[in-house]
Structure 1
Amino acid sequence: MRQLSKNQTPADLTLTIPTPIMKPKVSVLIPTYNYARFLDEAIQSVLAQTYTDFELLIMDNCSTDNTEAVVRPYLQDPRVTYYKNEKNLGLVGNWNKCLDHARGEYIKFLCADDKFHPHLLEKFVAVMEAYPSVMLVTSYNTYFGDRNRERVRPFTGLVNGQEARKHMISEGGKNWIGEPSAVMFRSSGLAVGHFNPKLVALIDKEYWLRLLTMGDCYVIPESLSYFRWHDSAQTAKVRNKMYERTFEVYHYITSIKKFNQEKRINDIPNLDQMIRMRASRVAALVYRTLPFIFRPDYRQVFLRAWQIGKQEHVMFHPLERLVRGEASLKGNKK
């Protein structure tokens, strides 16, 4: 891990220990990879906050663009620290590296292509201070760029943590809490661990569910963060990847069960049924990819699906559903 001071050039980058300022109330974390074209706007939105007791950590995941040049002018502000990984750690690895360096009582992510409303930190911190039972705060947010609309939440104000978990885990439950740029949580929540490296598209949702075992949620009914929608967004790339979401949802549900078992939580009684249903959908990939098994990419999907289907004892469920007319091997009916 390399830290760039304001007087260094990229060629001078060495492993150094930053001089800490007084422990901040909030750690704002910007993980980034080759997003120099958006990063300046993101940083400015943090430094323009009406609430100023924060540190800003920029975690560069070994970018090859001009990220260092964009960051350099902001290092004159003692609240700003820049790190560059020696090698690319992957999306989740870089998020977790951000958590390792955070020193604030409250943690606030900002994706490098997003931005904050000027009053976001002020209003989020006020909620945290007023409601000691709240583990995480979110708000409405606005999409901008290729899409422009406000995203609201199904709840407002104080939401019981257990009820929020049930609503999100239920079949078809969406991540209504929002993306990392929309959420603040207490650093004490790190007791549940870091982001799950086995996940790709549901990383944040699974983490919010774990945090909600430690406290409540509060929803501010105002758009206080802005989510940039563009073709190069990593989440958009994930959604377009063939078959990955089928595996992803299965791993997401199994990770919830594992966490509940470790913490001896039994607030979702139908988890086993949900796992078998998702495993059955994974097993269906065995039959869909079998005609193309000579191709390496399909063979990989086949082997992964076979292993899960066998492990969960659902290998023949897709065929049974097909016989009953409940499904097609080309796709699953809701």
Structure 2
Amino acid sequence: MISKYKISVVIPTFNRASLLDRALGSVFQQNSTEFEVVVSDNCSTDNTTEVVEKYRKHNNFKYNRNESNIGMVGNWQKAICDVATADWFILLSDDDFIIDRFFISNVINAIDNSNPIFVCSGAEIHDVTERCIKEFALPFDGLTPGIELFLSRGKTQPLDSVLCSMAFKRADALELGFFANENNLSCDSELYLKLCTLGDFYYIKTPQTAYTLHQNNLIRSINKYKEFRDGNIDYLINSITFAKSHGVSDHVIKQFIKNTGLKIKLIKTILMLRVSNEYWYIDFLARINTIAPDLIDLVALQVRVLWVFIKPFKSYFYEKYKLISLRSELN
């Protein structure tokens, strides 16, 4: 079915009614009419439905409510694959919002005039903990080779990317396995990093959206849950594997590994898993060795040396760095 809309603004939500209202309000202040809004409610128990009622009057508004909580990535998949209809989508978290009323128009102009592989923009970062607003800005302007953004990963502060400032093609998200791993909380980063190896992206320099940084951001759970820790390694390894398969040079791959600190992250993950559960450690090594044996070879010596030091003090490191399984908390 051909959609009459150019862009789907997808807003996944769970128990953040007041913040959802702010997000929705910012979208419906846009000067463009070439978009639809999709709210996907992950079985909220607060007054989300009351907030939603305020916006049902808009013909371009859609609301989906899941019968049970299907996880963050699962909710994204439901909204983008089953509810959204436009060829392009912007994923706006319920705690984020748009600050430039021309944002969607700017994205559409970039798509129509430059034919990019994806679009992204500058943003504001609203740090709730530090009570300040920081600027997210990349050193690009307009149509830019994607490999330049690929190599900037790990080099920009305070964040590498801001999801709510990006627009992707739905077809690309489906084809590149955006939703393949429900525990990959950085699957959005994996998507744009893969796309960077396929062509040019378009960068809008001025801040268009606001990302809210706070203690409840789910990404902070990667050092608590075994599944999330695994997933946070997967997005980098998958991006490297994809880049290699599409002709990216070894020099660029080595620079990417250095910039992202993948070597240190991989060592830390292996040791955290071994301290927590020997079976998790064995399974992880076997899995990574299947898809990226060269990375295991890269860190093998350091892991062995560090384990000699850690082993006598395993109980201490267990209390400090232990991971738990999501399944154990659910049961």
**CA 1:92–1:198 in 2, change beyond 3 Å: closer, same or farther?**
closer
Alignment-derived partner of residue 141 in structure 1: 123
**CA 1:280–1:227 in 2, change beyond 3 Å: closer, same or farther?**
closer
Find the aligned partners of 2:127 and 2:303 in 1 and give their Cα distance.
41
Alignment-derived partner of residue 209 in structure 1: 193
CA offsets 1:156-194 (integer angstroms, 9 cap, x no match): 3222023322443xx768896622211112334233233
Identity of aligned residues (%): 25
Find the aligned partners of 2:232 and 2:7 in 1 and give their Cα distance.
32
Q: Which has the larger radius of gyration?
A: 1
Alignment-derived partner of residue 84 in structure 2: 102
Say yes or no: does 1:284 pair with 2:255.
Answer: no
The 5-angstrom pairing of residues 37-76 of structure 1 reads 37-76=18-57
Runs of 5+ unmatched residues, structure 1: 1-19, 290-297
Find the aligned partners of 1:173 and 1:32 in 2 and give their Cα distance.
28
Say yes or no: does 1:184 pair with 2:167.
Answer: yes
Q: 2:247 aligns with which of 261, 266, 288?
A: 266
Find the aligned partners of 2:270 and 2:304 in 1 and give their Cα distance.
10
Q: 1:152 aligns with which of 134, 137, 157?
A: 137
**Larger displacement relative to structure 2 (42-51 or 195-204):** 195-204
Alignment-derived partner of residue 308 in structure 1: 284
**CA 1:194–1:247 in 2, change beyond 3 Å: closer, same or farther?**
closer
Runs of 5+ unmatched residues, structure 2: 290-295, 321-331
**CA 1:135–1:177 in 2, change beyond 3 Å: closer, same or farther?**
farther
Find the aligned partners of 1:254 and 1:114 in 2 and give their Cα distance.
28
Alignment-derived partner of residue 6 in structure 1: none
Find the aligned partners of 2:139 and 2:45 in 1 and give their Cα distance.
40
Find the aligned partners of 1:284 and 1:26 in 2 and give their Cα distance.
43
Find the aligned partners of 2:13 and 2:121 in 1 and give their Cα distance.
23
**More helix per residue:** 2
**CA 1:193–1:321 in 2, change beyond 3 Å: closer, same or farther?**
closer
Q: 2:215 aligns with which of 231, 255, 259?
A: 231
One-letter amino acid of the structure 1 residue matched with residue 170 of structure 2: S
**CA 1:161–1:21 in 2, change beyond 3 Å: closer, same or farther?**
closer
Say yes or no: does 1:164 pair with 2:145.
Answer: no
Deviation at 1:29, TM superposition (A): 0.5
Deviation at 1:145, TM superposition (A): 5.4
The 5-angstrom pairing of residues 81-96 of structure 1 reads 81-96=62-77
One-letter amino acid of the structure 1 residue matched with residue 139 of structure 2: P
Q: Is the CA contact (8 Å cut-off) linking 2:184 and 2:232 kept in structure 1? A: no
Find the aligned partners of 2:2 and 2:59 in 1 and give their Cα distance.
7
Alignment-derived partner of residue 10 in structure 1: none
Say yes or no: does 1:122 pair with 2:105.
Answer: yes
Find the aligned partners of 1:232 and 1:68 in 2 and give their Cα distance.
22
TM-score normalised by the chain length of structure 1: 0.75
Deviation at 1:279, TM superposition (A): 4.5
> What's the C-alpha RMSD, in Å, of the aligned pairs?
3.5
- Partner of 1:307: helix, strand, or coil? helix
Deviation at 1:322, TM superposition (A): 6.9
Q: Is the CA contact (8 Å cut-off) linking 1:144 and 1:226 kept in structure 2? A: yes
**CA 1:308–1:214 in 2, change beyond 3 Å: closer, same or farther?**
same
Find the aligned partners of 2:305 and 2:114 in 1 and give their Cα distance.
51
Q: Is the CA contact (8 Å cut-off) linking 1:175 and 1:205 kept in structure 2? A: no
**CA 1:164–1:152 in 2, change beyond 3 Å: closer, same or farther?**
closer
CA offsets 1:170-224 (integer angstroms, 9 cap, x no match): x768896622211112334233233342544422111111223443112111111
Q: Is the CA contact (8 Å cut-off) linking 2:141 and 2:204 kept in structure 1? A: yes
One-letter amino acid of the structure 1 residue matched with residue 52 of structure 2: V
Deviation at 1:305, TM superposition (A): 2.0
Q: Is the CA contact (8 Å cut-off) linking 1:25 and 1:104 kept in structure 2? A: yes
In the alignment of these two chains, the number of paired residues is 294
Q: Is the CA contact (8 Å cut-off) linking 2:31 and 2:102 kept in structure 1? A: yes
**Larger displacement relative to structure 2 (53-62 or 226-235):** 226-235
